[in-house]
């Protein structure tokens, strides 16, 4: 577990490193990629060993028999989240963007509205719009260092065409851990407007010390008949390339609809993903995650303090995720100028806030899941790029 180790990722078909020049004009020669949400760390040895066993065996045929995999998920959810999952309720998808698309197909019709709390993970809106459904953005507002939901305003916004709501819990961007009360508010809102409630909890393991994530079925068991849970090991263990996620549905009617869409698209499990996750959801994997979170917590503090030292810039401390959400609004800078300074002067590729929807315009999202030396370097570069504001 040496998270300080610098591992060369350039030229390895890494989206984060090898596409940064195309997307942001930042050369991987001396640029720092702080965008795509994957980590510059190897997964725990137990995962590497599972893959090595597959390579040693050397035959890569169709996968059959996922009982061990589903039991590993059951164990993890029970041990890490206090949530009892029935293995029969688990669908294995090709990741959670795939899971989102399948939910859109299964639970909505073209022209229906899908509610999002904005700003939020950008792929949701892309998937919804590509399927010919409408994105209904309910804006989050900031109050006392917290993103807050205004349900009275959202109630007034509903047209009756909305069929589904996607919650991101913990929230991305911003890394907020929703309280059980806030989660119950979301559940009641979904009930009031008869919405299927999809809870994307992909970041649920990466919660900073002092905060506690509550899974939606524990916060609001009364909405289990409209709840679709999405979980994955991909962010937790840095295995997103294995494209394996889980959609967990307790309600038999929703399960039937989801199964029908999955079968219609011929989606079946990826044996590499299943092997890695089965190994990861173990005591060894859990110890690695504990160490990882401690490391990330230190990285995010360095980045947050570094951003906050820039006049006009501020940041709400991350409670979860490794994605620091910097607010540059009070620098008074136009968005183009902000991006020019970060990309051309600091040579950092960070996600543009506006891609997350309404309210994200003058924000930048920085991925700090990288060896600490790079985070320190990023802070120095950012402070130099804005030094005229001192």
Ligand X SMILES: Cc1ncc(COP(=O)(O)O)c(C=O)c1O
* Closer CB to ligand X, 39 or 315, in the complex: 39
* Closer CB to ligand X, 138 or 232, in the complex: 232
Residue nearest ligand X (C-beta atom): 95
If binding is defined by CB under 6 A, does position 95 make contact with ligand X?
yes
Closest distance of CB 325 from ligand X, Å: 12
Q: 26, 39, 90, 97: which one contacts ligand X (CB under 6 A)? A: 97
Q: How many helices (H) and strands (E) does the chain have?
A: 15, 14
Q: Cβ–Cβ contacts within 10 Å for residue 111, how many?
A: 10
If binding is defined by CB under 6 A, does position 186 make contact with ligand X?
no
If binding is defined by CB under 6 A, does position 106 make contact with ligand X?
no
Q: Going by DSSP bridges, is the β-strand pair 323-327/314-315 parallel, antiparallel, or unpaired?
A: antiparallel
Closest distance of CB 323 from ligand X, Å: 8
Q: Which stretch binds ligand X (CB under 6 A): 24-32, 63-71, 94-102, 254-262?
A: 94-102
- Find tokens 């979904």 and name the residue: 190
* Closer CB to ligand X, 121 or 258, in the complex: 121
Q: 119, 174, 175, 245: which one contacts ligand X (CB under 6 A)? A: 245
150-169 positions binding ligand X, by CB under 6 A: 168
If binding is defined by CB under 6 A, does position 77 make contact with ligand X?
no
CA 39 to chain CA centroid, Å, is 12
* Closer CB to ligand X, 77 or 310, in the complex: 77
* Beta-carbon contacts of residue 215 (< 8 Å; ≥ 6 apart): 77, 81, 82, 83, 199, 201, 204, 229
* Closer CB to ligand X, 318 or 385, in the complex: 318
Polymer length in residues for the chain: 390
Closest distance of CB 12 from ligand X, Å: 17
SS3 298: helix
176 burial type by CB count under 10 A (0-12 exposed, 13-18 middle, 19+ buried): buried
If binding is defined by CB under 6 A, does position 233 make contact with ligand X?
no
If binding is defined by CB under 6 A, does position 121 make contact with ligand X?
yes
Q: Contact 192/155 with Cβ under 8 angstroms?
A: yes
Give the C-alpha separation, 150 to 168, whole Å. Answer: 16
Q: Contact 173/366 with Cβ under 8 angstroms?
A: no
If binding is defined by CB under 6 A, does position 248 make contact with ligand X?
no
List of residues contacting ligand X (CB under 6 A):
37, 95-98, 121, 168, 172, 200, 202, 232, 234, 240, 245
């Amino acid at each position: 577990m040496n998270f300080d180790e610098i591992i060369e990722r350039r030229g390895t078909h890494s989206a984060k490193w090898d596409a940064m020049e195309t997307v942001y004009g930042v050369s991987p020669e001396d640029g720092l990629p702080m965008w795509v949400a994957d980590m510059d760390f190897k997964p725990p040895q137990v995962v590497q060993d599972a893959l090595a066993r597959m390579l040693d065996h050397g035959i890569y045929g169709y996968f059959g028999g996922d009982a061990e995999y589903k039991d590993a998920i059951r164990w993890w959810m029970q041990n890490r989240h206090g949530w009892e999952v029935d293995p029969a309720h688990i669908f294995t998808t090709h990741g959670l963007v795939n899971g989102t698309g399948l939910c859109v197909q299964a639970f909505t019709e073209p022209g229906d509205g899908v509610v999002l709390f904005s700003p939020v993970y950008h792929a949701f809106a892309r998937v919804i719009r590509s399927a010919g459904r409408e994105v209904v953005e309910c804006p989050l507002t900031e109050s006392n260092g917290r993103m807050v939901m205004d349900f009275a305003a959202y109630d007034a916004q509903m047209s009756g065409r909305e069929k589904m709501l996607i919650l991101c819990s913990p929230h991305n961007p911003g890394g907020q851990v929703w309280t059980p009360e806030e989660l119950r508010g979301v559940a009641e809102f979904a009930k009031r407007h008869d919405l299927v409630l999809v809870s994307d909890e992909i970041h649920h393991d990466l919660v900073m010390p002092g905060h506690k994530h509550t899974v939606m079925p524990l916060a609001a068991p009364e909405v289990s008949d409209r709840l679709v849970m999405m979980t994955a090991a991909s962010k937790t263990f840095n295995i997103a390339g294995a494209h394996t996620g889980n959609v967990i549905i307790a309600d038999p009617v929703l399960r039937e609809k989801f199964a029908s869409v999955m079968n219609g698209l011929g989606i079946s499990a990826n044996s590499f993903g299943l092997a890695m996750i089965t190994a990861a959801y173990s005591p060894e994997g859990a110890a690695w995650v504990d160490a990882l979170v401690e490391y990330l917590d230190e990285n995010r503090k360095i980045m947050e303090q570094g951003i906050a030292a820039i006049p006009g810039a501020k940041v709400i401390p991350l409670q979860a995720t490794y994605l620091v959400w910097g607010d540059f609004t009070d620098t008074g800078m136009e968005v183009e100028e902000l991006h020019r300074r970060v990309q051309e002067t600091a040579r950092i590729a960070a996600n543009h806030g506006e891609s997350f929807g309404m309210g994200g315009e003058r924000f930048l999202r920085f991925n700090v899941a990288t060896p600490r030396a790079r985070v320190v370097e990023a802070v120095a570069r950012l402070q130099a790029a804005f030094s005229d504001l001192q």
